[in-house]
Amino acid sequence: MFLHSVNLWNLAFYVFMVFLATLGLWDVFFGFEENKCSMSYMFEYPEYQKIELPKKLTKRYPAYELYLYGEGSYAEEHKILPLTGIPVLFLPGNAGSYKQVRSIGSIALRKAEDIDFKYHFDFFSVNFNEELVALYGGSLQKQTKFVHECIKAILKLYKGQEFPPTSVAIIGHSMGGLVARALLTLKNFKQDLINLLVTQATPHVAPVMPLDRFITEFYMTVNNYWILNARHINLTTLSVAGGFRDYQVRSGLTFLPTLSHHTSALSVVTSAVPKTWVSTDHLSIVWCKQLQLTTIRAFFDLIDADTKQITQKSKKKLSVLNHHFIRHPAKQFEENPSIISDLTGTSMWVPVKVSRWSYVAYNESDKIYFAFPLANHRKVYTHAYCQSTMLDTNSWIFGCINSTSMCFFKRASETKVALCLYRYFQSLTLRLQDYPSLSHIVVYVPSVHGSKFVVDCEFFKKEARSIQLPVTHLFSFGLSSRKAIINTSGRYYNIELLNLGQIYQAFKVNVVSKCTGGKEEITSIYKLHIPWSYEDSLTIAQVPSSVDISLKLHVAQPENDSHVALLKMYTSSDCQYEVTIKTSFPQILGQVVRFHGGALPAYVVSSILLAYGGQLYSLLSTGFCLEYGTMLDKEAKPYKVDPFVIMIKFLLGYKWFKELWDAVLLPELDAIVLTSQSMCFPLVSLILFLFGTCTAYWSGLLSSASVQLLSSLWLALKRPAELPKDVKVMSPDLPVLTVVFLIISWTTCGALAILLSYLYYVFKVVHLQASLTTFKNNQPVNPKHSRRSEKKSNHHKDSAIQNPRLSANDAEDSLRMHSTVINLLTWVVLLSMPSLIYWSKNLRYYFKLNPDPCKPLAFLLIPAIAVLGNTHTVSIKSSKLLKTASQFPLPLAVGVIAFGSSHLYRVPCFVIIPLVFHSLCNFM
């Protein structure tokens, strides 16, 4: 019956929208590189020693615990307190386990063994009972206060030490990182208790799914505090994102606010971290060996040799983090590196005067210094570039002043040394005009035995190695492309990707390499460099080859930023490279889903509300209720919603309208929130509305089919009575049942009461469907007659009867209306489920959910559902409120998009209003 109400063209449209949505979802969940993280293993059995906390604290937080991680002999030694190491506290995230500390804790222990425990770290972990804090924000404040108590308890374990720590370092995964930032908002918290904060895949900007107001309020409190007090916050903070593999927390949410007066915060994507160069998913970021090794190296470099604790110097902490996570110079970190290196001795010195030079070393017995005089090169070239495969050599290139026997060793920050790829080669690019005092560049080749490596150097003009390649238009749909051909004789090229800066742009870059000459294996590396954020990525290719590179952004280009995205190509000589770029439509859909997929429920509910209003109006105007699918096609139109939202956003730009808006205490428009995050694009709302209408259609089909199936099962088990002869809105058991549901909501969990009332409503509808089926099966075949004329003739009679009789046609009308209401209520129940799941999981600790985001909703929704479960269209046709009830869904559909797309917890509030008016139609 449901499918018959939709014509074939509309059905084809809905199928097509499913296809487009599938393309977007595929790009989000599967359109990324394979997992290249190495697993971190424990060499000894991991042990978790529970730290005894004061009884007063355990009574206040019965579900939370504090543990000390250890392995083997280390774990045995530290069962007897006090401790002697450097405290690090690990905070798990949403549904995270305290045992996730084992990866980084084990690697730190192995590193400490390598240096004979000159320094070592003690890793603590908090057990948050795997709470779903990303879905229910009511416990975030509680977790924050418990962590504060844990920090104080940890520091007490170091009493009697020569240099007892006065602060701890914190590593926070997912929501654990946000809890760590929230510590600073506590009234009695001292900022000095934290010396370093590292967050992994933490959504700092906004919640992934704002399903209750407590999460949103918590975010507002934390972010407002950090922004308003940025000048006074000296806490060095590093935020690490997982990249496109992490589809649970998109990397754009992990970037800390970049303020001119807050320079102690760094944000980076794992694919851009030197010696890591991989994308991680939301869980593997905790155990990814490459990343954990980088983190531990940084931690050991942060140790102050005098106090044997993490340094208190902010500049050093930032310098170490930059060294390991931003620009690694392929050498160990030195706080004060020597700038003079004595290169005298018996080593061989070889002058090199050519502009392009290559050297292959194998079984060299003598050290060799290759000196490049710069006097002549400065007149012709602007840059010098060198690359080396000597991975075991830290210092391999020097700058000399007027002498080849005494050289200034140039530091990484001065020469812009970068470890291009740890497994393949080190590279350096030097702009000659930045070093006017240098007379020579010297490349050092050590004596080697049995190993082969290659050193290449060249001088070039920047203009000759830079190629501008504009990206294709967003709406070219991959039908057109832009191409650049490089007949290379050099080692390094820059492709400037013009007009790339929006998150909705997505491209497929194809690099085809063709080489002539030798048959030996040649490696080329292509690096996408995004200058306004640390989200670079590398692609390695063996030439000749054809390689596809995905090009899309985590963070949009700031308005005041004029940098250009680059494709840096570390090429091979005597090869030709053809670079082709074209728009990738599936990846554009993936970006829409990635950045706005969380708003889809708001658009679904908006479409259902429009269809619901159309059904109420058809009941008012014609006396019968049209099919849900027909009304969805007729009423769910983008032009009924989007223009109003755009108009309101435009008017809010005027001061008088903004003052009027604030005077009536209206919340901030969600479109303005998206604009502040560089996520507002006019067509996105249209695309989401179409996706929402499509989802509303298929969810309606599913709910209708479910009612049919359940009624069939009911008939198989028990044959129900025939259609009720009298329509009674208030059955004897209705007040009692309503009170019971309200008591359940008050004493336990509001979402539980909503679910029970929803099941009661579904039961009533299934019973009605089964009764109608029984009635039709028992009726003889009647001649055809006009149903519409029958409805019209009975319309006036029904209003005069106090308890009208329910006919088969009235029952069908009622079922059509109930089907739409079930569809609406299903989304309300789904949006309230997180708090129910949280409550059920913590039932052994708390019988009553507090705070409860669904309790106010339940007290309004339960009576309305109870009345609607006994409502039939025949009883509301003559209601004076029916006209008002039919007019409400349209403005409410606009309100859902305006205020609920970024605040999903508001969506059920817009659903309650028409349902309450619908239920009141039975009495007025």
Q: For residues 146 and 144, what is the distance between their CA atoms, to the nearest angstrom? A: 5
- Among the listed residues 190, 209, 309, 295, the one whose alpha carbon sits nearest the alpha carbon of residue 249: 209
Is omega for the bond preceding 851 within 30 degrees of 0, making it cis?
Answer: yes
Residues, the chain: 924
Mention every residue, 6+ apart, whose C-beta is less than 8 A from residue 62: 845
Mention every residue, 6+ apart, whose C-beta is less than 8 A from residue 314: 234, 236, 264
On whether the CB atoms of residues 543 and 524 are closer than 8 A, the answer is yes
DSSP 489-529: SSSEEEEEEET---TT-EEEEEEEEEE-S--S-EEEEEEEE
Phi then psi for residue 878, to 5 deg, are -95, 10
On whether the CB atoms of residues 303 and 222 are closer than 8 A, the answer is no
Token couple for 281: 């998913």
Give the full edge-to-edge strand order of the sheet including 466-470: 466-470, 492-498, 565-570, 522-529, 537-543
On whether the CB atoms of residues 224 and 258 are closer than 8 A, the answer is no
Separation in Å, CA 840 to CA 65, 407, 633, 756: 20, 69, 40, 14
By DSSP bridging, strand 303-304 and strand 309-310 are antiparallel
Of 103, 167, 174, 771, which is the active-site residue?
Answer: 174
Q: For residues 817 and 189, what is the distance between their CA atoms, to the nearest angstrom? A: 55
Phi then psi for residue 256, to 5 deg, are -70, 150
On whether the CB atoms of residues 491 and 385 are closer than 8 A, the answer is yes
What is residue 167's three-state secondary structure?
Answer: coil
How large is the angle between the packed helices 682-717 and 585-596, nearest 10 degrees?
A: 70
- 174 is annotated as an active-site residue: yes
Q: Which helix (H) or strand (E) holds 760?
A: helix 750-778
Give the full edge-to-edge strand order of the sheet including 417-421: 356-362, 452-460, 383-388, 425-431, 417-421
On whether the CB atoms of residues 768 and 811 are closer than 8 A, the answer is yes
Q: Annotated active-site positions, please?
A: 174
